[in-house]
A and B are shown apart, each in its own frame.
Chain A
Amino acid sequence: GENVEQHPSTLSVQEGDSAVIKCTYSDSASNYFPWYKQELGKGPQLIIDIRSNVGEKKDQRIAVTLNKTAKHFSLHITETQPEDSAVYFCAANTNAGKSTFGDGTTLTVKP
């Protein structure tokens, strides 16, 4: 089955700096890669996603890149703000429906 690894497990940045979180996956059949933000006591919220026919996608301060050959994808947050502090999860999906999640990255943005 699919295996998703996520790094780093914790990340601390100064407000205004950029943050990068990286994930690798194992199943070449995976074709959809969402990123979720989870705040304390809440469910995961989709913040951006990318499909396997696209190499990069951007939405304001958030961007995701995908390298299908190397089987890795990354989340980039620019101009970080304290409210960006949360746990971020990557995931990989095949057409079978279920999502395989990474173990999460705890991002702390220091004011």
Chain B
Amino acid sequence: NAGVMQNPRHLVRRRGQEARLRCSPMKGHSHVYWYRQLPEEGLKFMVYLQKENIIDESGMPKERFSAEFPKEGPSILRIQQVVRGDSAAYFCASSPLGPQYNEQFFGPGTRLTVL
């Protein structure tokens, strides 16, 4: 049973470009969470999605950031017009059932570098 998959593992963008980060949850998991980790800091919640629905986006910046989890295919975190401050590791996690069951399984992360 494959774990949570994220790609790419490393992504380099120039200021102003778009970054697209993909997350394939574990098989059978329909809940996805995105977190951002700045160097030597903890993980900060960004957004929680179920299939085709955004449940909680309270941690996501209002501008330039968007997320989706379509009926088919991976969850996508999109960052438009990237700036140097977007450089971070972005992790997604998935869980099999609703949040009351709590346990989240993390992927290996995508490390975004903005030049």
Contact = CB atoms under 8 A, between A and B. Distances in A.
Interface string A1-24: 100001000000000000000000
Interface stretch (A53-61, A66-74, A100-108): A100-108
A88 B99 CA distance: 23
Most chain A beta carbons < 10 A, residue from B42, B55, B93, B100: B42
Contacts of A111: none
A46 B93 CA distance: 11
B91 interface: yes
Given A95-B99, A97-B48, A98-B45, A44 B91 contact: yes
B55 A89 contact: no
A93 B99 contact: yes
Contacts, number: 66
Given A32-B102, A43-B108, A46-B105, A99 B45 contact: yes
B39 to A, nearest CB: 11
Interface residues of B, number: 28
A98 B42 contact: no
Contacts of B58: 1, 98
Contact of A101 (B44, B56, B98): B44
Given A95-B100, A96-B56, A97-B99, A44 B45 contact: no
A98 B31 CA distance: 11
A36 B106 CA distance: 10
B104 interface: yes
A43 B103 contact: no
Nearest to A32: B102
Interface of A: 1, 6, 32, 34, 36, 42-46, 49, 51, 89, 93-104
Interface of B: 4, 31, 33, 35, 40-45, 48, 55-56, 58-59, 91, 93, 98-100, 102-109
Given A43-B107, A98-B33, 11 more contacts: A6-B42, A43-B106, A43-B109, A49-B103, A89-B42, A95-B99, A97-B55, A98-B56, A98-B58, A98-B99, A101-B35
